[in-house]
Structure 1
Amino acid sequence: MAIEQGPPTADNPWPVALLGAKLRDWIDRLGTAWVEGEITQWNVAGGNVYGKLKDVEVDATVSFSIWSSVRSRVPADLKQGARVVAAVKPNYWVKGGSLTMQVVEMKHVGLGDLLERLERLRRTLAEEGLFDPSRKKRLPFLPHRIGLITGKDSDAEKDVKRNAQLRWPQVEFRTVHTAVQGERAVGEVTAAIVELDADPEVDVIIVARGGGDFQNLLGFSDEGLVRTAAAATTPIVSAIGHEADRPILDEVADLRASTPTDAAKRVVPDVAEELANVRQARARLGLRLSHTLSVEADRIAALRSRPALASTAWLVDTRAEEVARDLSRARELLDRRLERSHSEVGHLTGRLRALSPRDTLRRGYAIVQRTDGGVVRGTEDLDGATPVHVTLGAGTATGTLEPEGPGPDGSGA
């Protein structure tokens, strides 16, 4: 049956073989391309290698195959988790309808390239202030519960817990086991940081791993993981345990520990050491208090030995003389005051007597009043024989008055 190569239509469709052949021919024209990624699957079968290569930044994966003839020319230490560059040639298998990347050449990513990328990221984060000491949070003096992110049954986990509990037996842990290398490490460690940061009972978070080669630690320099750690509100301790090449997580963490053991020692205080410090502080306080009391006792003794306090009789004697002087002066002043007052009273008495109506009456005058109390000033105040009451200088008298005629001054009397 001849294969019709005209434009496919519903009435004249292409056979599957024709479509596969066209895809194969078109893909073959792409030639060889160099790509970079991380090996996430590495299976050896019959001398050939079948694996998957994952993009280092986004979620994209392709399958690849290395035939036995090529495998002898690639590094023998390639394995899952390695970061590589590879020359691949797309290959479409018509019979199976699958697309694979046939590896022509593969090698480790150059260390210089990786370091350059990390340095660019390091500079970017530094310019954003994520490395500034001012933004780093203080660790609690005695954490009630420690969040631990590490590999399951790892030496790092054992070192942290053993050393922390030796220093403070009551310390508690909440452990989240994650992958600490490979394609799952970044996502799992990032999720663990978010989970522990959201737990209000976790006072500090330790990310621990027992060292490793440079490429195995690349996940701890991942930008997403580092930014998640920087955004956490709970203090984070980085205990990756790698002195030669420090991951970027060490720069962002609130505290960097050289090893998991060092992390335990720096996060948890030593109960024996703290008890010794308490004893020393109490001893210093006791000495300081004893010295203060001794100084004050000497000061009181010195004050009591002064002449002013040695005998108190002088206080009474001095005050007695002052009281006698004040009493004498008070008597003198009182006498003067009484004398002046007596003189003033005599003077006022004289004035009062001079102005008194009774003294006028004593000189021979009298006050004549009718029985109704009215004063008789002239004959016009008399109505015939009028009963009157007369007040004299010494005593009173009653009688009757009759008008006679005007007196020498023209008034009646």
Structure 2
Amino acid sequence: MAAEAPATREAPWPVALMSEKVAGWIDRLGQVWVEGEVTQWQVRGGHVYGKLRDLTQDATVSFTVWRSVAQRLTAEFKQGDRVIALVKPNFWVKGGSLTMQVFDLAHVGLGELLERLERLRRQLQSEGLFDEGRKQRLPFLPGRIGLVTGRDSDAEKDVVRNATLRWPGVQFKIHYAAVQGDRAAAEVTAGIRALDADAEVDVIIVARGGGDFQNLLPFSDEAVVRAAAEASTPIVSAIGHEADRPLLDEVADLRASTPTDAAKRVVPDVGEELAGIDQARSRMSGRLSQLFSHETDRIAQLRQRPVLASPDRIVDDRAEELVRWVARGSELADRAIVDRASTLAETRARLTALSPQATLERGYAIVQLPTGDVLRDPAEAPEGTALRVSVVGGKLGATSAGPEA
């Protein structure tokens, strides 16, 4: 009985006694139905260990679903689910920790929400907002990056830091907006439209550092999605949550897995670009050196050919050939002259032998009538006809005595 006396400074309780009393008080609370959002769901050895958060206030408790209970559950659960649970507080004396032992678990409210999102997804998809053909290419090096994110958030720091490290001269225009809660959808929509209207902004990043299903709902809001689809500036979605893809991921021109990934995808790395330029210069230099070497070898081979190695030899060969042809031409010309002279002499001899002069030289005379015709018949020259007689020494005049009897 003394051990259960009220604790005093002089007679304090042992820790075990206090823990047992706390466990007894908590055990008398019994079972209770609670509603909340699952923010952690881990299965180890068939048991489930997780956390349940209040839907409106900042209050979270840990819970355990023993394997025997987990096997009876017909539905599947995950982080972000809104549930009702039959729990019994359980204080672990040895570790001094409080947890909720779950005896039953069921979804509540989530089915309607998921159905509404699925209807919106199908509608937007039927309108072609998710088509790859409408997505824009990001600029190689944006002059100014628009950023829609929470004020002083890790997402903002990650994007700005990593982009600046990759390209120190990059500039930002940041539009701060709530990234969860009732105001988030309207403020994110306003941010996208404001930055899209800015002519200096070349690309817009919408960034949030992950979160549970409920917190990501603003990025599936129809107004946000349509604002991104209507933007003429390329949109990058960097919500940073792999399990649940908000609809903004589907309509954005590029989906980045995290804000850091968005910075790397939007801004080129100056070191890599400089290295690429050096490699290109090296390849060009090597190619030019190879080309020059090839052409030098080709010219050397051409110079070794006889026609270029001894060009005067061709002139000498052609000169000798020309001399031979000149001599041959002169010989042929002389022979032609001799042949033609002999032929001319023969022709002259024949003409001389056949000419009237040759006849006169043999002692004959040619008698011509006054008309100039040669007298061939005495009857043509009656008595008294004037005649002209040609002899070898000249011409004589004569008169016909008429034909002899």
Provide the residue aligned with 1:135 in structure 2.
Answer: 134
Measure how far apart 1:124 and its partner are: 2.1
Provide the residue aligned with 1:289 in structure 2.
Answer: 288
Deviations 1:85-109 (A, max 9, x none): 9xxxxxxxxxxxxxxxxxxxxx986
SS in 2 for 1:149: strand
Summarize the alignment of residues 222-237 of structure 1 with structure 2, pairs less than 5 Å apart: 222-237=221-236
RMSD (CA atoms): 3.3
TM value normalised by structure 2: 0.54
Matched, 1:240 2:233: no
Matched, 1:254 2:289: no
SS in 2 for 1:216: coil
How many Å separate the matches in 1 of 2:315 and 2:309?
A: 14
Measure how far apart 1:120 and its partner are: 2.2
Provide the residue aligned with 1:270 in structure 2.
Answer: 269
SS in 1 for 2:172: strand
CA 312–80 in structure 1, closer or farther in 2 if over 3 Å, else same: same
CA 328–113 in structure 1, closer or farther in 2 if over 3 Å, else same: farther
- Aligned-partner residue type, residue 135 of structure 1: R
How many Å separate the matches in 2 of 1:328 and 1:119?
A: 108
Measure how far apart 1:233 and its partner are: 0.9
CA 325–127 in structure 1, closer or farther in 2 if over 3 Å, else same: farther
Measure how far apart 1:208 and its partner are: 0.3
CA 267–74 in structure 1, closer or farther in 2 if over 3 Å, else same: closer
Measure how far apart 1:193 and its partner are: 0.8
Measure how far apart 1:84 and its partner are: 9.1
Provide the residue aligned with 2:54 in structure 1.
Answer: 77
Unaligned runs of 5+ in 1: 1-70, 86-106, 337-413
Deviations 1:131-190 (A, max 9, x none): 222211111111111000000111100110011111111100000001111111111111
SS in 2 for 1:205: strand
CA 320–180 in structure 1, closer or farther in 2 if over 3 Å, else same: same
The number of residue pairs the alignment matches comes to 245
Provide the residue aligned with 1:151 in structure 2.
Answer: 150
How many Å separate the matches in 2 of 1:248 and 1:192?
A: 17
How many Å separate the matches in 1 of 2:34 and 2:169?
A: 57
Provide the residue aligned with 2:112 in structure 1.
Answer: 113
SS in 2 for 1:180: coil
CA 307–74 in structure 1, closer or farther in 2 if over 3 Å, else same: closer
Task: Note if contact 2:82-2:110 (Cα within 8 Å) is conserved in structure 1.
Answer: no
Measure how far apart 1:209 and its partner are: 0.4
TM value normalised by structure 1: 0.53
Measure how far apart 1:318 and its partner are: 4.8
Measure how far apart 1:115 and its partner are: 2.2
- Range moving further from structure 2, 262-271 or 318-327: 318-327
SS in 1 for 2:128: coil
Task: Note if contact 1:80-1:182 (Cα within 8 Å) is conserved in structure 2.
Answer: no
Task: Note if contact 1:209-1:239 (Cα within 8 Å) is conserved in structure 2.
Answer: yes
How many Å separate the matches in 2 of 1:117 and 1:330?
A: 111
Measure how far apart 1:325 and its partner are: 8.0
SS in 1 for 2:159: helix
How many Å separate the matches in 2 of 1:262 and 1:188?
A: 24
